[in-house]
Chains A and B, each alone.
Chain A
Amino acid sequence: MPLPSGIYNVTYKKDMAVFRTWDHWAWLIGLLVFLALVPAFANRSQLNILLTMACTIIAVHGLNLLTGFCGQISIGHSAFMAVGAYTSAALCNELGFSFWISMPLGGLAAGIVGLLFGAPSLRVKGLYLAITTLGAQFIIIYVIMHLPSITGGVRSLDVPPPAIFGFQVDSDHRYYYLAMTACVVVTYFVKNIARTGVGRAWVAIRDNDLAAEGMGISLFYYKMLAFFIGCFFAGISGSIYAHYLQTINIEYFSLMDSVWYLGMLIVGGLGHILGAIFGVVFIVLLREWVMKVAPLTSKTLPFLGVEFGAAMGLLVMGLVIMLFLVFEPRGLAHRWEIIKTKFRLYPFPY
């Protein structure tokens, strides 16, 4: 990837820099200002979409660390979100904790459960591990369903909105700032974890675990760390999502959601921080579009039947992810790099 003109990496520090020029900083500040101003001119449904995106991005960042960087496939990520969501909700409901304590505790609980299900990764890997995490999905949801005194079982559970110094964060506008701040902070952390020694160790394990072990990387420690941090972010995301909706149900954390999270990573680009963001934005917008269009198709084309609307979501999303896998396996993040390079070099071909 060519660098912007006038940039020479003469020190290691410069080589690792995320923001290389002043206009990079300008773009960042512009983006943050934009994110801060959005609620002023967004309507309720747009805000709702942005909030969903912010929560999902946090979870997918976690999955990206675990699957994209460390190479440990997890088909149970939404169950870890459920752990965070229900822990946080139960702490608030039963013990009267404030959101600011219960959210990290929810993340911690999800991380610890993640360690439990990550433990088999010492003995099994690849496909076998993927199916162990699939088992985690079923086992966690089963446990939540069978603790009705705390979690409400199959019924919905009410979650109180968070408060800050007596100031209730209960409207969408107020909650937007909370969720978006969390999303930005998590993105900052994830980007930096990926750049440090831990991130490099994970990439080494992903590319060849035996070689990594030969280089002195402790597989046990780094795999467990990946499971802990990945699931921790899932728990944080689940907790923030639960307090946003103010009511949670076991239905929100299904196997299908875990598959969508993996799909978001594929569409965005596995092992790119930007990829997680692109993937979430793309898939959430696609889902909104399908939900708008699907009722219309059954109305305008009645021979397709009433069920077609429900089926279309699955068909379109499945097909999009499949086409990405076959034709653009490195995802939108890779395409973005190519486009950026084109602009950088224009009018020269290279």
Chain B
Amino acid sequence: MVVFFQHAVSGLMVGAIYGLVAVGFVIIVKSSEVFNFAQGELLILGAFLCWSLIFQFSLPAWLAVLITLALAGLFGMAVERFPLRPMIGQPLFAIIMVTLTVGLCLRGLLTAVWGGMSWRVFKPALLPPEPLTIGGLNLSQQHIYGFFIAILVVVGLSLFFKYTRAGLAMRIVAEDHQVAQAMGISVRGVFRITWAMSAILAAVGGILLGSINGINIPLANIGLKAIPAALIGGLQSIPGAVVGGLLIGLLEGLSSGYIGHGFQDVAAYIVMIVVLIFWPHGFFGLERIERV
């Protein structure tokens, strides 16, 4: 039983970070109906930037994290300006392809700057590395910090959406672009903020994951793991994305513990396909009624 809880809890801890990345997907989908396949690359971009600032420019960790988040935000805005803005109103396929190519270019850029397959490890670690023992469970302190930072960010984000003017504007844009424009809200401005926020969320996830496991280019595939999380939760729901992320993390922890290494990557997709067959819009997604 202890082994079971061990796998489950460590899975959940990583799942929170997936949830964080999935929230990044969801806020872009909500405001602009664009599904960002480059989220994984944005994630390692943040991790690499932070690593470079700390260990190559030897900045203090807190400053490096702040600068990374600012740069990630700017980068998100740049991606929104080109190539995403000219794609407004294009069919779904073109938009999917454009974010995929953004991911490819970014991957090329990262390879050129930070180099192929080599691992970069945060040493000394940003978060305390010693494991804790709580009630018979061995827990990495980094995972616990990661979990709580992820939860904190998501709670902060929900409060932002609920209580600030910018959050209100974003919710209106998510509802209807024309209505938003009629109310004097700059839809483009909202898109820009959304992309910046999404890139920042990815960077937070990247820094957390990087500080736990180290970073290399193939880590970008983690973005592909957050996709099932976003879909299981429902593409329009922020709490859904977190639930989805936790579920995927749990599944990963258990399947790598009991079935074997390597299966966890596939398990997420199998569960996602099953969930989509029975709940085509995810657990908390909006059900759209279509007509001709």
**Residues of A near any B CB (own CB < 8 A):** 67, 71, 73, 75, 119-120, 123-124, 126-128, 130-132, 134-135, 138-139, 142, 145-146, 208, 210-211, 214, 255, 259, 262-263, 266, 270, 304-305, 307-308, 310-319, 321-322, 325-326, 329
Q: Would you call A210 and B292 a contact (CB within 8 A)?
A: yes
* A312–B113 CA distance with the chains assembled, in angstroms: 11
Q: Residues of B contacting A71 with CB < 8 Å?
A: 93
Q: Is the CB of A138 within 8 A of B292?
A: no
Residue of B nearest to A122 (CB): B277
Q: Which of B35, B270, B276 contacts A124 (CB 8 A)?
A: B276
A residues in contact with B116, CB < 8 Å: 307, 310
A128 in contact with B224 given A138-B266, A322-B101 (CB within 8 Å):
no
Q: Restricting to B73-121, which residues have a CB under 8 Å from any CB of A?
A: 82-83, 86-87, 90, 92-94, 96-98, 100-105, 107-112, 115-116
Contact of A311 among B108, B231, B273 (CB under 8 A): B108
Asked if A127 and B112 make an inter-chain contact with CB atoms under 8 angstroms apart, the answer reads no
**Residues of B269-285 whose CB lies within 8 A of A:** 269-270, 272-273, 276-277, 280
Within 8 Å of chain A (Cβ to Cβ): is B263?
yes
| Contact B227 A134, beta carbon cutoff 8 Å | yes
Verify A131–B231 contact, CB threshold 8 A.
yes
List the B side residues contacting A211 at CB < 8 Å: 292
Taking a contact as CB atoms under 8 Å apart, the answer to whether B93 and A123 are in contact is: no
CB-defined contacts of A326 to chain B, threshold 8 Å: 82-83, 86-87, 98
CB of A146, distance to nearest CB on chain B (Å): 8
A131 touches B97 (CB 8 A): no
- Which residues does chain B contribute within 8 Å of A135, judged by CB atoms? 228, 269-270, 272-273
CB neighbours of A318 from chain B (8 A):
101-105, 107-108
**A307–B105 Cα gap in the complex (Å)?**
14
Give complex CA distance A16, B262 in Å. Answer: 52
> Are A138 and B101 in touch, CB under 8 angstroms?
no
B266 is contacted by which of A139, A208, A262, A322 (Cβ under 8 Å)?
A139
Most buried by A among B101, B108, B227: B101
Give, as a whole number of angstroms, the nearest-CB distance from B229 to chain A.
11
B102 x A322 contact (CB < 8 A): yes
Inter-chain CA distance A131–B87, complex, in Å, is 20
A307 touches B115 (CB 8 A): yes
Which B positions have Cβ atoms within 8 angstroms of A?
A: 35, 82-83, 86-87, 90, 92-94, 96-98, 100-105, 107-112, 115-116, 224, 227-228, 231, 235, 262-263, 265-266, 269-270, 272-273, 276-277, 280, 290-292
Cα separation A127 to B276 with both chains bound (whole Å) = 12
B26 to chain A, nearest CB (A): 12
Asked if residues A130 and B96 are in contact (CB atoms below 8 Å), the reply is: yes
Question: A139 vs B264: C-alpha distance in the bound complex, in angstroms?
Answer: 11
Residues of B within 8 Å of A304, CB to CB, are 112
- The residue on B at minimum CB distance from A72 is B93
- How many Å from the CB of A33 to the closest CB on chain B? 37
- Interface centre among A119, A128, A319, A321, by most B CB within 10 Å? A128
A-B contact list, 13 entries, CB within 8 Å: A131-B228, A134-B227, A135-B273, A146-B262, A210-B290, A255-B224, A262-B100, A266-B97, A311-B109, A311-B110, A314-B105, A318-B102, A318-B107
Chain A residues contacting B272 (CB-CB under 8 Å) are 131-132, 135
Contacts of A270 in B (CB 8 A): 93
CB pair A142–B101 under 8 Å, yes or no, is: no
Decide yes or no: A322 and B83 within 8 Å by CB, A67-B93, A73-B92, A139-B270 being known contacts: yes
Task: Determine whether the beta carbon of A322 is less than 8 Å from that of B105.
Answer: yes
Residue of A nearest to B224 (CB): A134
Q: Which residues of A contact B97 (CB under 8 A)?
A: 262-263, 266, 321, 325
